[in-house]
Amino acid sequence: MAAPNVSFEAHVIKQLIVIFAFFSVTVIPLQTALAGDARYGGKKGTRQLSLGRLVLSITETSANGNFLLKFSKGKEEVFASECALKTHEPKTLPNTPRPDCRTLLAYCFSGGAHCCTTLFIATQWGSEVSLDMVDFGHTDGKVKFIEEGEALGKVIKVSDWQFAYYGPENSQFELSFAESPVMMRLLVFDNGHWRVDRVGEFPRFYSRLFREASYKAGIMARRNEPELTASLAMEAAYYDLMHGSPVGEATRVLNQLFPARWKPQTATVIQDIGRAVSEFNPVEVIR
């Protein structure tokens, strides 16, 4: 299959936009931001949104946008979290992730450069409601639900930030934040909760990402950009493993795409990539 014609400049620009967003985000008072949404009710100073018996309450705690996010079920407090600000409005989505489900999304941003957004995702099917917490890491983006042919219902795109500022152990290499590879993974609604995808579960999805990363690595190599080439080579090897390829094949891919001065690090880096693939789990089950 022919390699896709993907603009690497768009990849770099996207990374810069993410970094810039954390320094330039404007804090909007919560009460103003939620005004006029007929789905909200509750006591003065507090807004509420319900999903079945689960109630989300959002209370502004300071004039600069800090707020308390609390989930409750009847008189029982299920979970509470203080947030510096919210990046997007909480909302309920019908027919998500499947036609027989509804999903409630709420975002919490911790504040500070490069950090950190938490997604709270409640899912209702029939009379049952679950609540999961997802670490979105260094991003302020909205949830991206997609339909992937191998999945039952919609899945969620998330980013694996484990290689931010990466450098192989006992080496002089270290990638900047903008140069660091950010891997894509999927969350699947399974057995009443969201979970991270497994190796080999979505081979077509990761095959596309593998071809894209390999293509971009070739472009950066021709432009004599060794750090970006190394970063994209790591992405390609990561996606090759997620596709279901054996470690030996992913090692060959990494060594082939690596710049000459990175090649001695191949064995160390492939071990780190394999560890990242198996250990990545941004989901915590709350209820």
In this predicted structure, the answer to whether residue 34 has a pLDDT above a threshold of 50 is: no
Tell me the average pLDDT across 161-165. 95
pLDDT at 26 over 80: no
CA 252 to chain centre: 28
User: What percent of the chain stands above pLDDT 70?
Assistant: 81
Element of type H or E holding 216:
helix 203-222
Residue 113 domain-assigned (yes or no): yes
Boundary residue ending a domain (141, 163, 182): 141
Mean pLDDT over all residues of the chain? 84
Please tell me which residue, 205 or 39, carries the higher pLDDT value.
205
Q: How confident is the model at residue 35 (pLDDT cuts 50, 70, 90)?
A: very low
Residue 2 lies in a domain: no
Query: E strand or H helix at 77, and its extent?
Result: strand 76-83
The predicted pLDDT at position 61 comes to 81
For residue 12, the enclosing domain spans 7-141
Mean pLDDT in residue range 154-183: 95
Q: Minimum mean pLDDT among 19-28, 106-115, 185-194, 245-254: which range?
A: 19-28
Q: Do 199 and 137 share a structural domain?
A: no
User: 106, 141, 176 — which closes off a domain?
Assistant: 141
Q: What is the mean pLDDT of residues 166-175?
A: 94
On whether residue 55 sits in a domain, the answer given is yes
Q: Are residues 105 and 224 in the same domain?
A: no
**Which of these, 194, 203, 110, lies nearest to 154 by C-alpha position?**
194
Q: How many helices (H) and strands (E) does the chain have?
A: 6, 13
Answer whether residue 1 is part of any domain. no
Q: Are residues 151 and 31 in the same domain?
A: no
H or E stretch covering 131: strand 128-137
Domain co-membership, 131 together with 148: no
Any alpha helices (H) in 46-199, and if so which ranges?
Answer: none
pLDDT band at 31 (very low <50, low <70, confident <90, very high): very low
Show which of 141, 173, 189 is a domain's final residue. 141
User: What's residue 89's pLDDT?
Assistant: 83
Residue 14 lies in a domain: yes
186 pLDDT higher than 90: yes
Same domain flag for 27 and 126: yes
- Report the pLDDT averaged over residues 136-151: 82
Q: Are 67 and 60 in contact (CB under 8 A)?
A: yes
| Most confident among 31-35, 88-92, 226-230 (mean pLDDT) | 226-230
Q: What is the CATH number of the domain that holds 75?
A: 2.40.128
Task: Provide the number of structural domains found in the chain.
Answer: 2
Domain assignment of residue 219, yes or no = yes
Q: Is the pLDDT of residue 7 over 60?
A: no
What pLDDT, on the 0 to 100 scale, is given for residue 62? 74
Q: Specify whether 37 is located in the same domain as 116.
A: yes
pTM of the full structure: 0.81
pLDDT tens per residue, range 128-141? 999 999 998 887 77
Euclidean distance between CA atoms 162 and 78, whole angstroms: 29
- Residues 158, 216 within the same domain: yes
Q: Is 8 left (phi over 0), alpha (psi -120 to 50) or beta?
A: alpha
Same domain? For 109 and 125 the reply is yes
Residue 247 has what pLDDT? 98
- 44 and 131 part of one domain: yes
Q: Calculate mean pLDDT across residues 1-10.
A: 42
Same domain? For 232 and 123 the reply is: no
Q: How confident is the model at residue 42 (pLDDT cuts 50, 70, 90)?
A: very low
Q: Same domain, yes or no, for 154 and 274?
A: yes
Count of CB atoms situated within 10 Å of the CB of 260: 8
Q: In terms of Cα–Cα distance, which of 159, 155, 121, 120 is closest to 137?
A: 159
Q: What pLDDT is recorded for position 138?
A: 80
Residues 72 and 163 in one domain: no
| pLDDT attached to residue 172 | 92
Q: How far is Cα 74 from Cα 107, in angstroms, rounded to an integer?
A: 22
Task: For residue 159, give the amino acid letter.
Answer: S
Using DSSP's 3-state secondary structure scheme, residue 247 falls into helix
pLDDT digits (tens, 9 = 90+) for 71-112: 999 889 999 988 876 667 899 999 999 999 999 999 888 766
